[in-house]
Structure formats: structure tokens, C-alpha cells
Amino acid sequence: MDKKQVTVAEGSKQAPEKYYIQITEDGPYLVYGSPTIDQEIIAPNEEGSSWEYRKGLKFDSSSACVALCRCGHSKNKPFCDGAHKHVQWDPRETSSMRPILEDAEAFEGPSMVLLDNEKYCAFARFCDAYGRIWNIVQRARTEEEKELLRHEAGHCPAGRLVLYDKEKKEVYEPPFEPSISVLEDPGIKVSGPLWVKGGIRIESANGKSYETRNRVTLCRCGASDNKPFCNGAHASMKFQDGLPLAEEKNKE
């Protein structure tokens, strides 16, 4: 890997080199470095809005290389079982290689600026928990309001929403270890994308690396038109991976 070809987003740091994901041209994601892979379930607040993540199942990621499904048809999700060879799906990567913030819209307030690139929306809906984040940022002055902004933006798994602190003159990013989570969204009864955390490098099938970011979401339903990244298509198509949620597993 040519380190000069890897761009790291402001506020993020790159994971150790052993961690990276290679996208195969018409097949799965190949994961190297043995990052932890688990299930995370979007949990609501008392009003029913997305608010926290709850840990669920754990998956074996001890192999030197783990293949994760990206066509949406594997019967052994989240792992690839070769289904991509026998089903009709569009594996083409259509996302830009441009840094995500270059095309982001800015919403400026007295203490923070919210940067939003809607093309990367994973439809996790943390941005609406206690008022829409786009409205809150334009009035936020108190520490309580700023903490709410950090919570809502920081829980956006795709990193579509990024906060810039005007006083500290820095981008806010929550701390993550290199890891991958299989998202589940029982609030709308769908299975979500792969949540890649901690600055894991993602390499295109053409050998070039996308901008390394602290948090991104990769499509695993096969229907995003911003591949390899999620664009929320799993919600409209009601994608289900068939995996039990943690509490269901415990009842067995």
C-alpha cells in the first residue's frame, strides 16, 4: 500500500495498517486484521426515537481474512456463501472518491457548525431524537445543547453528519477502536448496513483507497446507488438478514 495515496478525513485517524477492507469486483468484502465483528441494535429513547446502540451477537473474526456479504443474498449472513455468483445484482462501485466534507452542506450556529453530506445517509435517524439536529445547531449555546449535538451527530453511523467546534477549532469525532458492527434496526423492522469504525481503510476493487474516516457504513443489501457505501436503500426495500436479535437468541 502506498501511504501517500491514503487520505484521512479531518478529525479521524487511520487504524493500524493490518486493518483494512478490500472490495472484490463482483463479490464480498474481504476483511483483514481480524477486527471484532458484532451485532449492534439501534435502541430507542422513551419517545421511540433512535438513541443508543445495544450489543448483540458476536461473530468469529479470527481468520486472517473474513469475507462479508455485500450482495444481500447470502444464507450465512453476515458472511459470504458465494450467493453473488448465482443471483442478479449490481456490484459496481458508484461512490465518488472525493472527501465526504467537500460536498457537504454547512449549517452554522453560535458555537458549532454542522456539516451534512446527505448522499451518505444510512437512515439510522439519531438526528431527530430530541429535535432535528439541523435546527438545534443554529441555536445551541449551552453545554447541554452542545452535548445533545455531539450525541446525535456522533451516533450517526455513516458519518454523514460531522460537527465542527468553533471554539476548539476542531472536528468532533467519537472515539472508536477498529471494529465492524452488523446493524439491526427493529424500530422500522429492517437490517441495516455494516458499520465500520476506528479508521479502517477501505480499498476499492480498482486498488485505490477511499478517504479513511472514523466511521462509515457499507451497503450489505446490494441495493445502494452509492456503493460501496450505504444510502438507506435497506429501509425502503425492507431488507432482512434473518439473524436473531440478542434477546431472541437468549430465549432459545
- Residue-wise pLDDT for 199-224, tens only, equals 999 999 999 999 999 999 999 999 99
Q: Which portions of the chain are predicted below pLDDT 70?
A: 1-4, 246-252
Q: Rounded to an integer, what distance in angstroms lies between the CA atom of residue 227 and that of residue 29? A: 12
Q: Rounded to an integer, what distance in angstroms lies between the CA atom of residue 247 and that of residue 71? A: 27
Amino acid at 171: V
Q: Which pLDDT value is given to residue 241? A: 97
Q: What is the pTM of this model?
A: 0.94
Q: Which pLDDT value is given to residue 247? A: 56
Coil, helix or strand at residue 84: helix
Q: Which pLDDT value is given to residue 96? A: 94
- Among 224, 79, 230, smallest CA distance to 157 is for 230
Q: Rounded to an integer, what distance in angstroms lies between the CA atom of residue 165 and that of residue 99? A: 19
- Among 95, 79, 97, 94, smallest CA distance to 29 is for 79
Q: Which pLDDT value is given to residue 6? A: 86
Q: Which pLDDT value is given to residue 122? A: 98
Instruction: Find the radius of gyration of the CA atoms of the chain.
Output: 18
Q: Which pLDDT value is given to residue 250? A: 41
